[in-house]
């Protein structure tokens, strides 16, 4: 796909339309190694670009795995509070990279972000049953009865949660690993609350085929590998 050079640079977050037009006219921009002074130049997507000698990442499609730390909102933007987008270079927001679904402000762990609106939508569609695995620390020890209640499907105030797998992890019984197929608002916390437990910390380990990379500390991110993207895309295409 081709795009006017000035529009391309604006989309990549280089500056406003008038700022980038000025840069182009001044000869500060090269396309495939050649200075281009025409703001209307028809530029190929993913062309090699430099601005004032610095190479620019010209990809308009990005898929990011983020280790979300506690304390940030999962939102594309917010007027008052910091969001997960603050952890990425501004160009990511400029090209429309957005979180897929939502983790609560105090939840940590795997968050996927993508510029691909169709993929985003498909991964969240209830019919796709994309599993999510969470580690939860609760206030009192979990029991076999809780495992059975999760397996049965819990009745919450506004919906019936589908059956979910709960495992009690070794230790004092207050750590559980839960696999859910849905992603309703505060779902995991509400499921534990329905069996009389309060979630003290919640951490997401996996989202569908995607697993949080151990090498990422809270706040760190990386782009998906080709294999991860292929697996996720094929998962998004399955189901209803």
Q: Where does this chain bind ligand URA (CB under 6 A)? A: 103-104, 107, 186-189, 202
CB atoms within 10 A of CB 145: 10
* CA–CA dist 203, 223 (Å, integer): 20
CB of 104 to ligand URA, least distance (A): 4
Residue pair 49/55 in contact (Cβ under 8 Å)? The answer is yes
* CA–CA dist 10, 18 (Å, integer): 9
CB of 137 to ligand URA, least distance (A): 13
Per annotation, catalytic residue among 38, 57, 104, 172: 104
Nearer to ligand URA, 89 or 153 (CB): 153
Phi and psi (nearest 5°) for 13? 80, 20
Nearer to ligand URA, 4 or 184 (CB): 184
3-state secondary structure (DSSP) of residue 88: coil
131 is known as an active-site residue: no
Going by their DSSP bridges, the two strands 49-51 and 29-31 should be labelled as antiparallel
CA angle 139, 143, 149 (to 5 degrees): 105
* CA–CA dist 219, 87 (Å, integer): 7
Nearer to ligand URA, 96 or 183 (CB): 183
CB of 20 to ligand URA, least distance (A): 38
Nearer to ligand URA, 104 or 167 (CB): 104
What residue spans of 83-171 are helical by DSSP H? 90-94, 117-124, 144-152
Active site residues: 104
């Amino acid at each position: 796909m081709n795009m006017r050079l000035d529009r391309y640079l604006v989309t990549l977050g280089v500056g406003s339309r008038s700022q980038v037009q000025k840069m182009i006219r001044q000869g500060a921009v090269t396309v495939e190694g050649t200075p281009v002074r025409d703001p209307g130049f028809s530029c190929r997507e993913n062309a090699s670009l430099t601005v004032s000698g610095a190479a620019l990442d010209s990809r308009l499609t990005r898929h990011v795995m983020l280790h979300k730390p506690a304390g940030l909102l999962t939102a594309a933007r917010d007027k008052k509070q910091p969001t997960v987008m603050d952890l990425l270079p501004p160009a990511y927001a400029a090209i429309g990279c957005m979180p897929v679904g939502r983790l609560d402000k105090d939840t940590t762990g795997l968050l996927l972000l993508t510029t691909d609106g169709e993929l985003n939508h498909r991964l969240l569609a209830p019919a796709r049953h994309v599993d999510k695995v969470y580690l939860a620390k609760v206030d009192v020890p979990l029991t076999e009865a809780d495992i059975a209640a999760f397996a049965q499907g819990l009745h919450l105030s506004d919906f019936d949660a589908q059956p979910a797998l709960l495992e009690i992890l070794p230790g004092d019984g207050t750590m559980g690993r839960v696999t859910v197929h849905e992603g309703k608002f505060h779902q995991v916390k509400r499921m534990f609350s329905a069996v009389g437990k309060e979630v003290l910390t919640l951490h997401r380990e996996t989202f569908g085929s995607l697993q949080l990379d151990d090498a990422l500390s809270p706040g760190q991110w990386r782009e998906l590998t080709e294999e991860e993207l292929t697996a996720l895309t094929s998962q998004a295409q399955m189901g209803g």
